[in-house]
Amino acid sequence: MQLIMKTEFDNLRTNDLHSYDSDSNGNKQVVKIYCGEQLIAKKLTQKKSVRYFGINDYKKYLTPES
């Protein structure tokens, strides 16, 4: 997985074809985005740090912006 921008993560999350799952453990939170059964992106929040990750070919899952 590689770092991606927040806007790209939001684009993947708001797509109706994708599902997402959230998990919290103490002060760590993970949000994972799936297309079918495949994990395509995740958001990792730990204390005040927020990082967004996507698979190598995540761009093919992005919705074109109008």
- Residue 63 forms part of a structural domain: no
Contacts of 66 (CB under 8 A, 6+ apart): none
Question: β-strands 49-54, 38-46: how paired?
Answer: antiparallel
Give pTM, 2 decimals: 0.85
User: CA 32 to CA 41: how far, in whole Å?
Assistant: 6
What is the number of structural domains in the chain? Answer: 1
- Residue 62 forms part of a structural domain: no
- Residue 28 forms part of a structural domain: yes
Question: Residue 51 is part of which domain span?
Answer: 2-57
**Residue bearing tokens 């799936």:** 34
- Residue 43 forms part of a structural domain: yes
Per-residue model confidence as pLDDT tens digits over 20-31: 999 999 889 999
Per-residue model confidence as pLDDT tens digits over 5-54: 999 999 999 888 899 999 999 889 999 999 989 999 999 999 889 999 99
Q: How far is CA 60 from the centre of its chain?
A: 14
